[in-house]
Amino acid sequence: MFTCKPRLLALVLSACVPAVAQDGASATVIDTGDNAWLLVCSALVLMMTGPGLALFYAGLVRKKNVLGTLMQSFIMMAFCAVLWVVVGYSLAFGGDGPWIGDLSHLFLNGVGAEPSAYAPTVPHQTFMLFQMMFAIITPALITGAFAERMKFSALLVFCGLWLLVVYAPVCHWIWGSGGYFSLAGDRPVMDFAGGVVVHITSGFAALVCALYMGKRLGYPSEAMKPHSLVLSVIGACLLWVGWFGFNGGSALSAGSLATSAILATHLGGAGGTVTWVLCEWVRDRRPTVLGGVTGAVAGLATITPASGFVAPMPALLIGLIAGGVCYYMVVSVKAKFGYDDSLDVFGVHGVGGLTGTLLAGLLASSAVNDIFGGGPVGLLEGNSGQFFNQIIGCAAGIIWTLPLSWVLLKLTDVLVGVRMSPEAETRGMDLMLHGEEGYHMDIE
């Protein structure tokens, strides 16, 4: 991930203790301001999964599946954290190979209070913690594609395997030391906070899940309206606020690059909201609340890879484009092909992440990084060469994600079965998977 210059002020702060960085980093000091900022951002990104994503998804499903949907996001906060500290972090950020990390940080070996090459002004543990939150929310995003029909045991097996086999290697390619697509690699790809790493991987895995598992019983002839848009709006608002930590924290310091990234993030979300609502207004003669919050998430997902590389007006443009592109995918393309991506993970996150990563290659400005944290001039500038690198990086992420996600689903199906029984699906996840009811209802 992009590494900012240590602030000069840190050199004279008596509260800062000098420390020798690991992994070959030069001697530096811990900046308590940077550390506090990254810890806050870690909390904000965790908030995106729970309660943000949990409420956003839970409001979009039917009453009989509310608790089951909440549980899917909630369990990711615990299950993925365990996998991450045991082996996931090492696979993503250990070693300096081009394609995957090593086991040098197994069980957090060598991940302590000293800084690392990844973030030279904060403890290594702080950087690991921040990255953990990304590893939690990425598989949680996929759950929206198979909402209301995957077994809980299958969720754990598939998401656990997917985190280690799909997410960790792609994370290393782009953000890991020596990664092939890192900014210092053979073919640098600009992905500030997760266009390829988070949104393309989760979005295209979601498409595989939707196709592999098939449609929900009764879809599309039976109306499957959201049971509570109030919950979804609350969840979307929490996601929007949490996204400031998602993108702003990726500056890895409390400097002006974080300010620039947060401003770009907000404008991206605003642009996506406006375009989506306008599209609905023109097509259906009325704007909807669901359209507004979906457009916001689309804009936020799309600006993510470019947030630290573009100026404010290009960020707004990316958001405006995102609202239109993702609207078309959700409303037209999904209907044309008939796949049941229950909560539109592919149309919003997969397509949004792809769009934003490509646009970063055209609209990035080296002036943004020269002013806000530094970087090699030219490398971070939008041009045809960089656009080609973005295409290659996106293609690699898609080609890696699609077949491996299918293989992992197939393996999960063999081991525990992926789909609920027709009776369980009819009666609902809450009662049949967890023995609880979030709402009192009569099941015919």
Q: Could you read off the pLDDT tens digit of each residue along the chain, which spans 444 residues?
A: 444 333 322 222 222 333 333 343 444 689 999 999 999 999 999 999 999 999 999 999 999 999 999 999 999 999 999 999 999 999 999 999 999 999 999 999 999 999 999 999 999 999 999 999 999 999 999 999 999 999 999 999 999 999 999 999 999 999 999 999 998 888 999 999 999 999 999 999 999 999 999 999 999 988 899 999 999 999 999 999 999 999 999 999 999 999 999 999 999 999 999 999 999 999 999 999 999 999 999 999 999 999 999 999 999 999 999 999 999 999 999 999 999 999 999 999 999 999 999 999 999 998 887 654 444 444 578 899 999 999 999 999 999 999 999 999 999 999 999 999 999 999 999 999 999 987 644 433
Query: 287-292 contacts: CB < 8 A, separation 24 or more?
Result: 289/229, 289/232, 289/233, 290/60, 290/226, 290/229, 290/232, 291/327
Start-end of H helices in 285-383: 289-303, 312-328, 334-337, 345, 351-363, 366-371
pLDDT at 366: 83
> Which two tokens mark 331?
């409303």
Does the predicted TM-score (pTM) go above 0.85?
Answer: yes
**CA–CA separation, 352 vs 306, rounded Å?**
12
For residue 407, being part of any structural domain is answered with yes
pLDDT at 370: 64
pLDDT at 186: 80
Give residue 25's domain range. 21-417
pLDDT at 379: 55
For residue 221, being part of any structural domain is answered with yes
**CA–CA separation, 197 vs 185, rounded Å?**
16
DSSP code per residue over 245-262: HHHHGGG-SSSHHHHHHH
For residue 427, being part of any structural domain is answered with no
Question: Do 360 and 310 contact (CB within 8 A), yes or no?
Answer: yes
CATH code of the domain in which 264 resides: 1.10.3430.10
For residue 341, being part of any structural domain is answered with yes
Matching residue, tokens 């919050």: 293
For residue 375, being part of any structural domain is answered with yes
- Cβ-based neighbours of 429, under 8 Å, separated by 6 or more: 64, 65, 67, 68, 69, 148, 152, 420
CA nearest to 162, candidates 145, 177, 148: 145
- b/e map of 264-289 (b: 16 or more CB within 10 Å)? bbbbbbbbbbbbbbbbbeeeeeebee
Q: What share of the chain is helix, strand, coil (3-state, %, to 5)?
A: 65, 0, 30
Q: What single-letter DSSP state applies at residue 19?
A: E
What is the domain count for the chain?
Answer: 1
For residue 177, being part of any structural domain is answered with yes
Beta bridge partners of 150: 419
